[in-house]
Amino acid sequence: MIRIPRPSTSSLVPRVKAIQSSPPILRKGYASSSSHILSPASVVTTLPNKIRVATESLPGHFHAVGIYVDAGSRFESQRTSGISHLLDRLAFKSTDKHSDEEMTRLIDSLGSQVTCSSSRETIMYQSTVFPQSLPLALELISSTIKHPQMTPEEITAQKEAAAYEIREIWSKPELILPEIFHTVAFQQNTLGMPLLCPESQLSKIGATEIRGFMKDWYQPERMVIAGVGMPHNELVELSEKFFGDIPSTSASASASTSIHSSLHASTQPQPSGSKSFATVSNVSTPSDYNELVNAKAVYTGGEHYIENAEDQLVHLHIGFEGLGIHDPDIYALATLQTLLGGGGSFSAGGPGKGMYTRLYTKVLNQHYSVDYCAGFHHCYADSGLFGIAASVYPQFAPRIVDVIAGQLHSLTGQMFGGIEEREFKRAKNMLKSTLVMALESRLTAVEDLGRQVQIHGHKVPVEEMCSKIDELTLEDLWRTANRVLRPTSSTSRLNYGLGSGKPTIVAQGPNLSALGDVKRTLRERWGLGL
């Protein structure tokens, strides 16, 4: 399942979590230097091969577990573009241990969810299971990661399914425009590499290319195994059993892993003719690892217009470079997106559903020709995107640029509407409650744990996150809005000065000339962007 971001979704990571009970005692035999308590409920243990195992002691009737690989479309090149998309489609097919039919039957026997999804910065294998089924779930995930068969029949079938999926998404502007927006904002690099496999790549990618990609990026140092609900020691032991034999790229870790694995050889038999991505000898494709492993996102900005006379609406996305997850202003930017809010012209919402957010009250409730208007905030390790997306009837196209620009402009100071204290407090409360309530889902909770350990190396305590949101002032929001919307020089631009400071503009629909010169309107009339 490929993850296509929705324009109205705030992607602030880490998310707030509920306070849980004390962690279990670490299993004897692991040095204190490789295990540390992150919060009253979170524990991380580093296995000898450098895989990190994290758990939270969240009581309940079932467990959630996930394996998070530091891979995804931002680590693809022009040669390997699309492999992450095909990888998630090929998950849980035949392996050296199980045929496709056996894998399907075993997954059904779990009576739970087992999924794989790819995004720009991670590939995730996740499952919710009853406690007694945890070993089987991890065995199946381990098998599909370490020993996939990738038969010609499976690859052909998944390419055909991917081609259909690609055509379906391209036919829906609300799904494809956020994707195009990324490719225009980060042209030909990292976060601009497409989530969807380009159709031209389908004929070029085979088992050899996929295994080569896995060999590069599925390294134990880049993997986190996270679990919610189970004792920490149990997940450590199961992780050791099913993933402890993946060799580390570190020489010292490899030696440790070799010794450690030999002690458990009887419990980890390797099938004859195993096609493990880590040990297969016939993978000889070129490697992009050294070029891409430390590549920073370079925001370019730009414009892209898709004239389509058959569309009933004009779809427009206007945005700027946002902040990376480690930026201290990330909480302020997430609050700004929550304050903008918005959505569709028809909503089943009510109190607490965002009906009092800025874009509902100032745009959707005042302009009947606006069908959709929402703020978006996509946040990544070293950069992001922030802006407003709208869909309007063609007769309103000449006005929508000024409407969007006016709303962005109002975030940057006390003039032109500014931000009222009442809506500021409401936005902070909405952000906190949205993040906390999302973790009612165990899959969301385990993903949050795995991704935070992957990005930060630990889980940020809920007290710290709530405190940082509560401490925000209106001055913080104005300052952050000006950083993002009005970068004045290379020294004040985001992303280590690599960003251009220019707006990103993507539009699709009929008679797009009615929009006018969007970039010029933003700059000369509203002072937005460079």
Whether pLDDT at 389 is above 80? yes
What was the pLDDT predicted at 216? 96
Phi first, then psi, for residue 211 (nearest 5°) are: -65, -35
Domain boundaries, the chain: 43-245, 302-526
**What are the counts of helices (DSSP H) followed by strands (DSSP E) for the chain?**
17, 13
- Please list the residues that pair with 506 across neighbouring strands: 304, 317
CA angle 463, 469, 474 (to 5 degrees): 155
Indicate if 302-526 has the same CATH topology as 43-245.
yes
- Select the CATH number that applies to the domain covering 302-526 from these four: 3.40.50.880, 3.40.30.10, 3.30.830.10, 3.40.190.10: 3.30.830.10
Average pLDDT, the chain: 85
Q: How many CB atoms lie within 10 A of CB 351?
A: 7
- Select the CATH number that applies to the domain covering 43-245 from these four: 3.30.830.10, 3.40.50.720, 3.90.850.10, 1.10.8.640: 3.30.830.10
239-254 pLDDT, tens per residue?
Answer: 999 999 999 876 333 3
Residue of 25 and 333 predicted with greater confidence:
333
Cα dihedral 348, 354, 356, 359 in deg (nearest 10)? -100
pLDDT band for position 58 (cuts 50, 70, 90): confident
Strands 113-118 and 123-129: antiparallel
What was the pLDDT predicted at 414? 63
Q: How many residues does the chain have?
A: 530
Average pLDDT value for residue range 451-464? 88
Query: Shortest CA distance to 518 belongs to which of 260, 317, 267?
Result: 317
Query: Shortest CA distance to 193 belongs to which of 210, 179, 211, 213?
Result: 179
pLDDT band for position 286 (cuts 50, 70, 90): confident
Q: Dihedral sign, CA of 101, 105, 108, 114?
A: negative
Out of 39-48, 187-196, 272-281, give the one with best mean pLDDT.
187-196
Whether pLDDT at 6 is above 90? no
Q: Give the contacts of 176 (CB within 8 A, at least 6 positions apart).
A: 169, 170
CA angle 485, 488, 492 (to 5 degrees): 90
Query: Shortest CA distance to 177 belongs to which of 315, 307, 301?
Result: 315
Give the SS3 label for residue 321. Answer: strand
Whether pLDDT at 20 is above 60? no
What was the pLDDT predicted at 440? 84
DSSP labels for 402-463?
HHHHHHHHHTTSSSTT---HHHHHHHHHHHHHHHHHHTTSHHHHHHHHHHHHHHHSSPPPHH
Query: Shortest CA distance to 427 belongs to which of 472, 481, 363?
Result: 472
Least confident range from 112-116, 122-126, 265-269, 366-370: namely: 265-269
Q: Give the contacts of 134 (CB within 8 A, at least 6 positions apart).
A: 63, 65, 227, 230, 234, 235, 238
Alpha helices in 186-231 (DSSP H): 207-217
